Amino acid sequence: MTSRKNKFLIIQVFIASLFLYKYIPLFQSHNIWYDDAHELLISKVTISDLKSFMLIADHHIGFSLLLKLLIQLFSFENIYTIIGCLNLGVFILVCYFLSKKDNFSLEVSTVQILILISPVVIDYIYKPKQYFLDLCIALFLVKYFSYDHNVKINKVFPLLFLSAFFSNILVIYFLIPLLKLVNKTKNRLMVYSSLLFTMPFFFRAYNKFFSESFREYWSSFYESSTQSFLKLFFNNLMFIRSFNDLGLLPLVIFIVSFGLFRLYKDNKNILLMVITPVVLLNLLNLINLYPIGAGRTDLILFPIFVYSIYHLLKYLSSKISIIYLLIVLLPIFFFIENNKVREDNTQELINNTYLYDFDLLYVSYYSIPQTILFDSEYGQPKRVGSKCFYNSINKKVVFMQSDRSEKCSPQFNFSNIENEISNEKKILIIGHESRTQNIENTIKKMGVSENNITIEKIGNNELLIAINFNN
């Protein structure tokens, strides 16, 4: 037993070292773009400002509190590295828990490598997002509740509160334990009474799925999906690819299918725990309420891959040595290319902006949260009544809000810019180009003389446009 434990720990150190050696440069070179900046704005919001805090925290309050603590303890320059190391550490602890339950079998380490080489995992393990930690918690819950003696009121409900506080979507892993609890507990009144205290979490999860903003955010994904029931097939192919296909999708499908068969033979409790969330979210996907196959949203469902492949390896371990498989898989770390960093040069734009040389500064939609994060002189993250979350605090600064943000005013502001140009105002426009905000072409079509306009591009997507009628 001690020998197996020592071997497992040595492998864990080796895996962690390889992973960090490969991806620390990626963590350190990453720049803060729109989505990340929105989450990191939690550092500028006090908990007492509940409306603004809850808007950022969304449905992952516990994670936002953790992120706020990390930002206070460490600088923004190191935040991606800190998050990456923290997530890796939590993942290793969960794997230790899983291995300990199965006498430190090397099969866990093998599946662990398959997880860590997943492109979605590599992309989100260091981001200020809750998705990867959701996966870690889900892995723990599946194993923990696979034992009947853990399905008790004093164990189910505390874990439900903690998990849902961290991220509301984790409630999907409590459906089976709650049903078992109702079925096996004699004092059902106590169970039903306890369930009343959990309803807010389920209600918040319900509100998330059915919220207009959530559906609008993913509208392009749903529109690109094949309609009818064929959508389930294609979306689930993308879901499997999110895990990892390494260019061999049919082989991955075969492995997972055979693994589910072995899981059915070995442990029906675990099978039920991993299948139920997949079925539930597929039903929501069918009616355009949850994006199966969208990458980061798939991470919460990865336990179905982990446990199916693990039980397949347990079956095969009697026929092959798992240590040889580990030796084959470990070098893959060196052959996988680092994910391309999404380029964002908003900070450089701000450093090159001389605000008081112009009458007005317009900030494009996809640069607003970064602008507030890098320089509080421009604006603040604060919900004021029913107004937009991003509010300018400088009369010279205008945020070009999204057309999805119905409560935000003004919207894209191109008509406003055209009016200001006709009045020969000195205007500076900074921002991130996108399909919905084609700023450069729109401005050029306004008929401004080439002598009065200067366009500077930084990187591929960031630009700075100066319209100056005096120079």
- Longest Cα pair distance anywhere in the chain, in angstroms? 83
Average pLDDT, stretch 429-446? 72
Q: Are residues 233 and 284 in the same domain?
A: yes
> Tell me, what's the pLDDT at 212?
64
| Global pTM value | 0.87
Structure token pair of residue 172: 């999907």
> Tell me, what's the pLDDT at 85?
94
Instruction: Assign 131 to helix, strand or coil.
Output: helix
The torsion angles phi and psi of 448, rounded to 5 degrees, stand at: -75, 135
Q: Are residues 330 and 237 in the same domain?
A: yes
Q: Are residues 238 and 211 in the same domain?
A: yes
Q: Are residues 283 and 363 in the same domain?
A: no
Could you give the C-alpha distances from 139 to 134, 162, 198, 400, in angstroms and in order? 9, 15, 21, 41
Chain-centre distance for alpha carbon 464: 30
**CA–CA separation, 465 and 467 (whole Å):** 7
Average pLDDT, stretch 405-423? 64
Domain boundary residue among 335, 358, 380? Answer: 335
Max mean pLDDT among 223-227, 262-266, 412-416, 417-421 falls in 262-266
Show the CA angle centred on residue 325, arms to residues 322 and 330, nearest 5°.
125
**pLDDT at residue 13 greater than cutoff 70:** yes
> Tell me, what's the pLDDT at 75?
76
> Tell me, what's the pLDDT at 338?
61
**pLDDT at residue 468 greater than cutoff 70:** no
**CA–CA separation, 196 and 403 (whole Å):** 39
Length of the chain as a residue count: 471
Q: Are residues 302 and 270 in the same domain?
A: yes
Q: Are residues 325 and 220 in the same domain?
A: yes
Residue 183 included in any domain: yes
Residue 107 included in any domain: yes
Residue 352 included in any domain: yes
Q: Are residues 352 and 241 in the same domain?
A: no
Q: What percent of the chain has pLDDT over 70?
A: 80
β-bridge partners, 458: 462
> Tell me, what's the pLDDT at 49?
79
Residue 136 identity = C
Max mean pLDDT among 29-33, 85-89, 192-196 falls in 85-89
Structure token pair of residue 88: 């890796």
**pLDDT at residue 442 greater than cutoff 90:** no
**pLDDT at residue 142 greater than cutoff 90:** yes
Structure token pair of residue 214: 């959530």
Show the CA angle centred on residue 290, arms to residues 163 and 42, nearest 5°.
50
Domain boundary residue among 283, 312, 335? Answer: 335
Instruction: Assign 17 to helix, strand or coil.
Output: helix
Give CA torsion, residues 122, 127, 131, 136, to 10 deg.
70
Least confident of 44-53, 149-158, 215-224, 311-320: 215-224
Max mean pLDDT among 228-242, 290-304, 367-381, 405-419 falls in 290-304
**pLDDT at residue 64 greater than cutoff 70:** yes
Q: Are residues 277 and 404 in the same domain?
A: no
Q: How many domains, in total, are found in the chain?
A: 2
Structure token pair of residue 50: 């509940």
> Tell me, what's the pLDDT at 366?
78
Residue 47 included in any domain: no
**CA–CA separation, 160 and 174 (whole Å):** 7
Residue 340 included in any domain: no
Q: Token pair 């306004």 is at which residue?
A: 446
Domain that includes residue 419, residue range: 346-467
Residue 63 included in any domain: no
Radius of gyration of the chain (CA): 25
**Residue 418's pLDDT band (cuts 50, 70, 90):** confident
Q: Are residues 95 and 240 in the same domain?
A: yes
Residue 147 included in any domain: yes
Residue 198's Cβ-count burial label (10 Å; 0-12, 13-18, 19+) is middle
What stretches of 211-316 show up as alpha helix (H) in DSSP?
212-217, 219-224, 230-243, 249-266, 268-286, 303-316
pLDDT in tens, 340-351: 666 677 777 777
> Tell me, what's the pLDDT at 436?
61
For the chain, how far is it from start to end, CA to CA, in angstroms?
Answer: 79
- Crossing angle of the two packed helices 230-243 and 268-286, in degrees rounded to 10: 120
Structure token pair of residue 142: 């599946």
**CA–CA separation, 270 and 82 (whole Å):** 33
> Tell me, what's the pLDDT at 57?
80
- Crossing angle of the two packed helices 268-286 and 249-266, in degrees rounded to 10: 130
- Smallest CA-to-CA distance from 294 within 227, 187, 221, 376 is with 221
- Smallest CA-to-CA distance from 145 within 195, 194, 180 is with 180
Residue 35 included in any domain: no
Q: What percent of the chain has pLDDT over 90?
A: 21
CB atoms within 10 A of CB 160: 23
Contact call for residues 141 and 150 (beta carbons, < 8 A): no
Structure token pair of residue 358: 């112009």
Contact call for residues 322 and 135 (beta carbons, < 8 A): no
Contact call for residues 172 and 276 (beta carbons, < 8 A): yes
Domain boundary residue among 311, 335, 359? Answer: 335
Q: Token pair 């105002």 is at which residue?
A: 425
DSSP code, position 337: P
Q: Are residues 301 and 190 in the same domain?
A: yes
Q: Token pair 């989450």 is at which residue?
A: 39
Structure token pair of residue 240: 């499997």
Q: Are residues 128 and 200 in the same domain?
A: yes
Contact call for residues 130 and 87 (beta carbons, < 8 A): no
pLDDT in tens, 67-126: 999 988 887 778 899 999 999 999 999 999 998 888 888 888 889 988 998 889 988 999
Q: Are residues 362 and 461 in the same domain?
A: yes
| Average pLDDT score over the chain | 80
The torsion angles phi and psi of 422, rounded to 5 degrees, stand at: -65, -25
